Amino acid sequence: MKESLYNILKGKFLISNDAFNNWRFILFCTVLAIFMIGSSHSAEQKVHEIARLNDEVLELRTAFLDGRSNLMKLKMESTITGRMAQKGIKPSDVPPTKIIVKEKE
């Protein structure tokens, strides 16, 4: 047992007669490790991209709500009346009347 441990530490399993099988296994493990590292980097990039897009969505939603709130304020009758008063136009004191058109038979 002690001798086999020394052989492994010295690397004799890489130069022995059946070393080809060991090299194939080491090469397979290396390729698998490279694939796993690449996969984890790809997943991490996607996580960062998702976080960035979520921040952008929140920012755009806030801008949308702010714009909608400003639009509601601009559409209020008091705001329109105030702006028109600056131009010399005021609301009518006489309410509008409904005109009914009867068709001739």
Q: H helices within 76-95, ranges in order? A: 77-86
Average pLDDT along the chain: 90
Q: Is the pTM of this model over 0.85?
A: no
- pLDDT band for position 8 (cuts 50, 70, 90): confident
**Residue 18 pLDDT more than 80?**
no
Domain ranges in the chain are 2-86
Residue 81 or residue 10, greater confidence: 81
Tokens in use for 12? Answer: 């004799």
pLDDT at 51: 98
How far, in Å, CA of 16 to CA of 20, rounded?
Answer: 9
How far, in Å, CA of 27 to CA of 76, rounded?
Answer: 74
Q: What is the mean pLDDT of residues 53-76?
A: 96
Secondary structure letter of residue 66 according to DSSP? H
**Residue 2 pLDDT more than 90?**
no
